[in-house]
Structure 1
Amino acid sequence: MSILLTPHRPGVAAGRDAQALHRAAAPDFFGWLEHTRAAGGCSRPIRLTGTLTAVDRDTGRVVGEQHTDELPDRTLYKACGNRRAAQCPDCSWVYAGDAFQVVRCGLTGGKTVPATVATHPVVFATFTAPSFGPVHHRHIPRHTCADRRRCDCRPAPCHARRATGTCSHGQPAACFTRHDSDDPQLGRPLCLDCYDHDHQVVWNAFSGELWRRTKQAVERHLTALCRRRGIGHVQVATDSGRVRRVPPVRVSHGKVAEMQRRGAVHFHVLLRLDGVDPHDRNALVPPPAGITADDLDAAVRAAARQITLTTPPHPDRPHGWPITWGEQVDVRRIGTSDGDMTDGKVAAYLAKYATKSTEATGHCSTRLTPDTIDAYADPEGDHLARLIDACWRLGRPTHHHTTRTAAPTGERQGDLDTKPNPYAGLRRWAHMLGYGGHFLTKARRYSVTFGLLRDTRATYRRAEEDTADTITVGTLTFTGSGWLTDGDALLANTAAAQHRERRRIGREELAHEAWSGVAA
């Protein structure tokens, strides 16, 4: 293993390199490296102490016992499993691989999903949030580049078509700048006082309910279409033995939420059209011949235009806020041939966003509390500070007229969230700008689960590593997180990075050999 050290750099780096050299010079270095291999690359591994007991597989008899005090560092390391790339690149790499498999299996089959799903109609829809006020943006009206990933096209002026002059707060109403892709102004309002920060955080909080109703509307639209075309309901038997009549089609989805630079979420959704088997209601079968991808496309567009909801009353807004989709609703077909919308490219696209959170906005923090809220929220601050302040202010208990800085004495954050207030979740998810949903969700029938993939991987590793007819049972206790020294982190992460690179090169070699065989 080659390690890049910088012994002449002052400060933290020099101390880290010295720690790494001390560890590498120890006689048991390779034993320690093998011991940490399971958590190698993790930014903050979990440290566990306790007893590891070897039990005979057949008889259940204890054949050996070892305490973690006998292991290197007197502890057992376990990867943290964090999905966010900004928090732990190695664990998020594993999560992204699982997310890719979850998404792709719903498109092509595999891993307990029948391969026949590849023939089902599928569309890829993007639902965006509405406008809460003009923001700086980068728009390219016409692409002339050959590759969008290396796009060098000249963008149009930001808001050149807006009326000249100033807004009611004295800020310019137009922007003639041609923003670069890394311009920090992108996503920031032209006028902070004109922007409706309250509406945006409420929209984030209720966007999950908006999506639920939208999917129901898609299914109702398709059911009505089947009725008009003479495709009758299907009779299926429930678990209790009763017979029910159900619509002949159903929609299975895989959804990823992406946080835009302005702090509003939008959804990338794969919607697959399935049929119903009267003999096995859990089977994945193609839809009736009279329903096509064109019908699914039309149903999604119609539902996006029609579905709206109004949030419950709030002391600051007695009539609630309207929650609708934005005007930019994009629906595309998914094909398995070469092109921009192949199953592999879409799965990789969604898996990439499944490891992200609020990093695009420039904000990244853990859950906020009354002790830490003042460091992030400011009603007179920048865009992000106002969004967080809106979450904290609107999420206050409705029967307490408290401010952001005066939380009720003796009440914990969890107590505040259990109050009978539909907006209480805004405080709990203030660090997420009001959005409390998971960034990757799916319908139960769409594909395999993360749990199945993890169990399969664990079973494979046990079968690969076990050399005796025993299983290991751990009685462990959490003692902390993180590596003991920065030098240990450098060594373990370097070894893990080299292992990932070898796997990547191996996959590329296998793909090249397969392509060469097909070409020959």
Structure 2
Amino acid sequence: MTHLPASGSTLALTPGQVTLWSDVGANTEPRRLPPSKITRRPVLATDTALARAGAGDYDAWLDHVWSAAGCVRPIRLIGEVVTVDRRTGEIIGGIPTAAMPDGVIYKACGNRRAAACPSCSQTYRRDAFHLIRAGLVGGKGVPAAVTSHPAVFATFTAPGFGLVHTRHVPRHTCADRRRCACRPAPCHARRDRAVCPHGRAVVCFARHERGDARLGQPLCADCYDHAAHVVWNNHAGELWRRTKQAIERRLNQLARQRGLPPVRVAHGKVAEFQARGAVHFHALLRLDGHLRADPEALRPPPPGLTVTDLADAVEYAAAVTAFHTAPHPAQPSGWRIAWGAQVDVRTITMSGASASDVMVAAYLAKYATKSTEVTGHLSRRLTAATVAHHADPTGTHAQRLIAAAWRLGSHPAFESLRRWAHMLGFGGHFLTKARRYSLTFAALRAARVHYRRAQTPGPEYAADRLGRQSDLDDMAVVVLGRLSYAGTGWHTLGDALLANTAADQARQRRQAGLEDLAHQAATPSDLQAA
């Protein structure tokens, strides 16, 4: 068996470009020229793509890689796949990966970030949509009765750490905010044309458009409190935990005053980076009843508590929740961690009158696939050997934030700042939920695997090529993998081109089918018959 290199590639994600460093989208095509001969000239994948497509085992190879075909950087695994008797534990047989195409098994990377892998992030986004929406309308194991539970959609923002360029639209006249072309107000218009202690004017009369590179950048980088910024990001998760507790305490106080049984709040939450690099949270909060004798039961709240009470409790908790961090030599009294003044709370309805269930679920799922790329920074975890490439105390805004996180992280009480310096201090999950809010990602993935294995193969496949199992729970044998990591990326750039093209065509066919079904559902039956 030929051992494949485990290192990253020097090939770019898209054909026609050469990059001389390992990065997102790298593949493992071996060098054909000595390092001294490598130049920045166009590189074509035609030779390897044609060689692969013209080989006699192309169909078998495409079948083999199909589960990871759309992935930018699939994981390659080597070892053996064995069949085990479920009753006795006896190994009945096995297939080494050396006998498979390329001698490896390709597994999709599963990265949630759209900037890292568009295909895997799309799967994650769709799972997130169903997970969030099931907590509002039921289904997938969640009782449909949750539609009657009061629910709000709240946005919690970070406080200010210094003046930054912003885009504010005082009055929207557009129908779709995603394509908003409304005229923004001047960024920071001041008549006195004040200057900061560093001699820079803290005024900006520009009406910034979407995508303006200045958005989120400080008016004076030396005045901006980068240390407080990264510390706040680092403690935002704890601030949310305390806020959630304050919301439930407030609601239970109201319940006791009104002679009602206790309640609890279930949530689904997404963290989003603003252009300035500060994290803010979008949270869906649902009011549930709580029976201490049966804490696992999902019960409706008592009629005496309304969605208005829930919204008031959220606004109250956001205003009063705050704490101080541990002392640091740079801040002996610790940093105060609290929410910013901008807290938006909207009622969720099933009719779309305020914020509909579909809109909220799609919104949260969309931002669950994003990260620090909005700030212009995208890197993996930093080490002492690599931090100098991304941190600069006198550099760009993102470089100063990373430098502040690395410097403050030298203190034992703040060492997590170094671990999460590449995330500008934030170390929490981007999508979290209460345990009783909805189902889990694991349940969605298991259902998808069960469906794919149990579905009837199409006419283009022979029955002996794809064996299906109607019910996986009734299987007499199980298939286990004794696999180890062999590397990341496609074997050649031509393989990546062919696999991604085939996967894209399949997605387009699926999208066309969904659009056709939607058209049929919207067309009256008498017109369909005609």
Task: Please say whether Structure 1 and Structure 2 have the same fold, judged by a TM-score greater than 0.5.
Answer: yes
Shift of 1:496: 1.1
Matching residue within 494, 502, 509 for 1:495: 502
Provide the rounded CA distance (Å) in 1 between the counterparts of 2:256 and 2:416. 41
Question: In the alignment, is residue 323 of structure 1 matched against residue 337 of structure 2?
Answer: yes
1:451 is matched with 442
Q: Distance in 2 between matches of 1:8 and 1:92?
A: 24
**Counterpart position of 2:177:** 148
Distance of 1:43 and 1:351 partners within structure 2: 21
Q: Distance in 2 between matches of 1:57 and 1:13?
A: 53
Match of 2:491 in 1: 484
Match of residue 346 from structure 1 = 360
DSSP 3-state at the match of 1:36: helix
Aligned to 2:54: 25
Contact 2:348–2:354 (CA<8 Å) still a contact in 1? Answer: no
What is the aligned partner in structure 1 of residue 376 from structure 2?
362
1:509 offset after TM fit, Å?
2.1
Report the TM-score, using the length of structure 2 for normalisation. Answer: 0.86
**Alpha-carbon deviations, 1:396-450, whole Å to 9, x = none?**
03xxxxxxxxxxxxxxxxxxxxxxx221100000000000000000111111111
CA RMSD of aligned residues (A): 2.2
Deviation at 1:11, TM superposition (A): 6.7
Q: 1:250 & 1:333 partners in 2: Cα distance?
A: 18
Q: Does 1:423 align with 2:414?
A: yes
Amino acid at match of 1:379: P
Q: In the alignment, what sits opposite 1:475? A: 482
| CA displacement at 1:512 relative to structure 2 | 2.5
Could you tell me how far 1:154 is from its partner in structure 2?
1.2
Deviations 1:38-73 (A, max 9, x none): 111111111111112234556655443221111111
Shift in Å, 1:7: 9.2
Determine the structure 2 residue equivalent to 1:435. Answer: 426
Query: How many residue pairs get matched?
Result: 478
- Residue type of the alignment partner of 2:514: R
Contact 2:264 2:289 in 1 (8 A): yes
Q: Does 1:461 align with 2:468?
A: no
Q: Secondary structure at the match of 2:283?
A: strand
Q: Which deviates more from structure 2 when the two are superposed, residues 212-221 or residues 15-24?
A: 15-24
Query: How many angstroms apart in 2 are the aligned matches of 1:197 and 1:82?
Result: 29
Q: What residue is the counterpart of 1:283 in the other structure?
A: 297
**Counterpart position of 1:74:** 103
CA contact (8 A) 2:382 2:419 kept: yes
CA-to-aligned-CA distance 1:437-475 (integer Å, 9 cap, x gap): 000001111111111111222222333454476432221
- C-alpha change, 1:13 and 1:512, in structure 2 (3 Å) is farther
After alignment, is 121-130 or 156-165 more displaced? 156-165
What SS does the aligned partner of 1:15 have?
Answer: coil
| Secondary structure of 1:184 counterpart | coil
> Which amino acid is the alignment partner of residue 503 of structure 1?
R
Shift of 1:229: 1.1
- The 1:517–1:112 alpha-carbon spacing in structure 2 relative to 1, beyond 3 Å, is farther
1:218–1:303 CA contact under 8 A, matched in 2: yes
Question: Are residues 467 and 136 of structure 1, via their aligned partners in 2, closer, same or farther at CA, if it must alter by over 3 Å?
Answer: closer
Residue in structure 2 matched with residue 335 of structure 1 by the alignment: 349
Structure 2 counterpart of 1:516, one-letter code: T
Aligned counterparts of 1:12 and 1:519: Cα–Cα separation in 2? 60
The amino acid of 2:159's aligned partner reads: P
The CA distance in 2 between the partners of 1:117 and 1:78, in whole Å, is 37
Q: Per-residue deviation at 1:149?
A: 2.1
Distance change in 2, residues 1:272/1:12 (3 Å): farther
Q: When the two structures are superposed, what TM-score results if normalisation uses the length of structure 1?
A: 0.88
Change (3 A) 1:230 1:338: closer
2:241 equivalent to 1:212: yes
Q: 1:340 to 1:276 in 2, by over 3 A?
A: closer
| Structure 1 residues without counterparts, runs of 5 or longer | 234-247, 398-420
**What is the identity, as a one-letter code, of the residue corresponding to 1:374?**
A
Work out whether 1:44 is the aligned partner of 2:51.
Answer: no
CA distance 1:435–1:336, change in 2 (3 Å): same
CA-to-partner distance for each residue in 1:70-125, whole Å, 9 max, x for gaps?
Answer: 11111111111111111111111111111111101111111111110111000000
Give yes or no for contact 1:7–1:18 (8 Å, CA) kept in 2: no
CA distance, structure 2, for counterparts of residue 376 and residue 13 of structure 1: 28
Which amino acid in the other structure matches residue 174 of structure 1? V
> What is the rounded CA distance, in whole Å, between the counterparts of 1:108 and 1:509 in structure 2?
25
CA positional deviation for 1:516: 2.8
Question: Contact 1:188–1:383 at 8 Å: present in 2 too?
Answer: yes
